[in-house]
Amino acid sequence: MINNDINFNDKTILITGGAGFIGSNLAFYFQDNYPDSIVVVFDCFRSEITFSNNNLTSFGHYKNLIGFNGVVICGNINNKSDLSLLNDYKFDYIFHHAAISDTRVYDQEIIMKTNVNAFTDILNKAKDDNSVLVYASSAATYGTLPSPQTVGKENPENPYGFSKFIMDQIACRYINNNKNMTIVGLRFFNVYGPKEFYKGSTASMVIQLGHQILDRKAPRLFKGSEKIERDFIYIKDVIQSNIKACKPHSSGIYNIGTGKPRSFQDISDILQKELGTNLGTEYFPNPFDGYQMHTQANINSSKEVLGFKPIYSLEDGIKLYVPEIKKLHGSSNK
Ligand SMILES: NC(=O)c1ccc[n+]([C@@H]2O[C@H](COP(=O)([O-])OP(=O)(O)OC[C@H]3O[C@@H](n4cnc5c(N)ncnc54)[C@H](O)[C@@H]3O)[C@@H](O)[C@H]2O)c1
């Protein structure tokens, strides 16, 4: 269990986006470690509607919550009457993870409404309930700025990153105007691990390459992948950050990564080692402009203020994840 001296038993906890990857892991963290907590998941789940990039408009999936015995509310954060369903509860802690999480959606209106406008409603609910609020920001706020990415120097280069940066600015104003509130934004870098499968093609390269290898195909990587480095962080460290964020020395925005960039080639090589294959690699040209070639979270303030300490190396995380990757191989994403 992650230690930060909070006993969440008997606490009422809201997790928006709780049917998604990070949110559902958090829901089970509370269920497993604090069985007397009251955990409310709020998520619109998935419809069959897609964006023009052919990805679903939301990735929440009931299968992420099989075995969860808390409260589940299906609702859209853009819809005030759905949000009013939360008024039956007074929350001690709110974890706001609901968002359009697909970085390659270019419908700016829907991204801004979902990620930004709804955030103000969540902040107001936290203020009314006197809840601690932890919310998901993103490394996409940095765009292609050189490493190490540091809070205070942002340059988003897609609508998603822009929406998260605007959320952070709203949060900072709210923090200034409500000094008694605890509000923490977590800028996640590249998260991987169990329960991301239902994000489809937006799930991490770890599961995508893992499934290619299990198909006995050479993993497909962009040319020069040994030089494309990202800060990959295992889901358990991300859960740790959410818990530590509940008791920060001060409210604010914090990076959540390992601080140790690794290449896509490393992921492929570690997977091949774990899966006992030697399939080589198939390289193809990178079709994307504005691609992040290197990320490395500056986590100094996250360590000092939150007490966050990443534990899992890429090798450790992949090793722990491989059984789930194998279990899901060949199964339907529907
Ligand atoms: N996974 C990562 O690598 C990563 C990196 C940076 C930031 N983040 C952020 O962390 C949060 C969680 O990400 P994730 O990887 O679990 O993504 P996810 O897509 O699995 O989870 C987001 C959840 O929000 C729900 N949702 C979307 N629109 C909604 C709406 N209008 N109303 C209610 N629910 C809605 C989805 O159904 C989904 O369950 C997101 O805010 C995301 O932007 C994730």
How far is ligand 1, taken at its centre, from the CA of residue 34, in Å? 24
How far is ligand 1, taken at its centre, from the CA of residue 17, in Å? 6
Question: What is the pLDDT, as a whole number, of residue 1?
Answer: 72
Query: What span, in angstroms and rounded, lies between the C-alpha atoms of 209 and 215?
Result: 10
For the stretch 42-67, pLDDT in tens is 999 999 999 989 999 999 999 999 99
**Ligand 1 contact, 89 CB (< 6 A):** no
How far is ligand 1, taken at its centre, from the CA of residue 20, in Å? 6
**Ligand 1 contact, 239 CB (< 6 A):** no
Given the CA of residue 196, which atom of ligand 1 is nearest to it? 20
Catalytic-residue membership of 142: no
**Ligand 1 contact, 206 CB (< 6 A):** no
pLDDT at 249 over 80: yes
pTM for this predicted structure: 0.97
- Among 310, 228, 290, CA closest to 261: 228
Query: What span, in angstroms and rounded, lies between the C-alpha atoms of 216 and 229?
Result: 25
Question: What is the pLDDT, as a whole number, of residue 2?
Answer: 72
How far is ligand 1, taken at its centre, from the CA of residue 86, in Å? 19
Give the active site residue among 11, 164, 195, 199: 199
The values of phi and psi at residue 285, to 5°, are -65, 145
**Ligand 1 contact, 26 CB (< 6 A):** no
Residues paired with 294 in a beta bridge: 229
For the stretch 255-294, pLDDT in tens is 999 999 999 999 999 999 999 999 999 999 999 877 889 9
pLDDT at 4 over 90: no
User: Starting from the edge strand earliest in sequence, which strands make up the sheet with 93-96, in order?
Assistant: 71-74, 38-43, 12-16, 93-96, 132-138, 183-188, 252-256
For the stretch 167-220, pLDDT in tens is 999 999 999 999 999 999 999 999 999 999 999 999 999 999 999 999 999 999
What is the average pLDDT score of the chain? 96
For the chain, report the end-to-end CA distance as a whole number of angstroms: 33
**Ligand 1 contact, 59 CB (< 6 A):** yes
From atom 10 of ligand 1, which residue's Cα is the shortest distance away?
136
- Under DSSP, the state recorded for 86 is G
**Ligand 1 contact, 136 CB (< 6 A):** yes
Catalytic-residue membership of 113: no
**Ligand 1 contact, 43 CB (< 6 A):** yes
